[in-house]
Amino acid sequence: MKEDYVRRKERWAKKMSGKEKPVRPSAGRLPPGQHEASNFPVLDLGVHPEIPLGEWTLKIHGEVENPVTLDWEQFTALPQFNDVSDFHCVTTWSQFDMEFSGVAFFTLAELVRPKPSATHLFFTGYDDYTTNTPLDACMDDDVMVAHSWNGQPLTLEHGGPARMIIPKLYAWKGAKFIREINFRDHDELGFWEQRGYSNSADPFTEDRFA
């Protein structure tokens, strides 16, 4: 586990330094039961909360040494991170080579400093959507709070001003319109997880439903 973590962080450090080109695997990247999409469909609860940037904040708190509430200026002043990843929706579409920019989850974790008691994350969006992951799932080199897609600010329907991107999990684990990240010492099921979706959500094992 520890070695795995060190490798992820090394890969992230290389990406941050611009020395590593994003990996674009070609074979075996379409998970079972998925088909490839190219039009980036919109999937959500039908609520698109419009948050003016001047009123936007991201609260990161819970089992951390240094809880913060970032405004837009503070958030975008953090080291910027660009990455290319694949996006897998449980409704069976996957889209490859998604270029997102934002702030790496590692950067946010270094800022708030998780306590040893932090084991899980609970995310809340401005539409009151919630979802949850183990902390370890987000301590990876491809996880970020994104504000841009393909070089353009995220549109409202895709979760702007900012959203979570967790490429290795089905996309419902990535909260759009992100408002709050809570580090916790226990797991709590989010919106879809309470409604029969898998808690672990691994696309490559077709881990769709609990």
Residue 167 contact among ligand MTE, Mo ion, none, beta carbon within 5 to 8 Å by kind = none
Q: Tell me how far the alpha carbon of residue 105 is from its chain's centroid.
A: 8
Residue from 89, 98, 111, 156 touching Mo ion (CB under 5 A): that is 89
Residues interacting with ligand MTE, by CB under 6 A?
40-45, 89, 125, 127, 129, 158-159, 171-172, 174-177
CB of 165 to ligand MTE, least distance (A): 10
- What residues between 172 and 201 interact with Mo ion by CB under 5 A? 172
CB of 18 to ligand MTE, least distance (A): 27
CB of 170 to Mo ion, least distance (A): 7
First to last CA, the chain: 25
In the complex, residue closest to ligand MTE by CB: 125
Q: What is the DSSP letter of 197?
A: B
CB of 108 or CB of 154, closer to Mo ion = 154
Structure tokens at 205: 């094992």
CB of 90 to Mo ion, least distance (A): 5
Burial of 195 (0-12, 13-18, 19+ CB in 10 A): exposed
Buried b (16+ CB within 10 A) or exposed e, 3-31: eeeeebeeebeebbeeeeeeeeeeeeeeb
Residue from 30, 43, 78, 135 touching Mo ion (CB under 5 A): that is 43
Give CA–CA dist 149/155, Å, rounded: 9
Binding residues for Mo ion, per CB under 5 A?
Answer: 43, 89-90, 172
